[in-house]
Amino acid sequence: MANEIISYLDMCQRERASLQRGMNFSLGGTHSVILMSLRPNAPYRDHVEDEGSVLIYEGHDAPKTKVTPNPKAIDQPIDTPGGTATQNGLFFSAAQSFKTGKRLPEKVRVYEKLRSGIWSYNGIFHLIDAWQEHDGERK
């Protein structure tokens, strides 16, 4: 049920997954999950439009490593260094495949972090578009 307040543990049990990352493509082959935050101190600029019917999700940064100490300074990756798709790449590819008529839109369950351990289930969205944009510093 949309707008349901749920604990982190209950959310993970519902999804049958330990949800540690914001983007989780094709869980169990039936749907994907996005964890988002609209709080003022959130590290990403996720937002909703059209009275909550459209979700704009920023995507994943590259992992923080010795080589990449500040992931916010580089483009968000579509592929891993080994050439496999990142979560960004999987979601992007699914959206492009929908747009070209090769597949139905991916169903995406969206949970919004309200505060530590407390989430709101915001319902199911359909992944129908994805794009890269430049924010003045990176894609």
For the stretch 28-69, pLDDT in tens is: 899 999 999 988 888 888 888 898 888 999 999 999 999 889
CB proximity list for 136: less than 8 A, separation 6 or greater: none
What predicted TM-score, i.e. pTM, was given to this entire model?
Answer: 0.92
Cβ pair 38, 49 in contact under 8 A? no
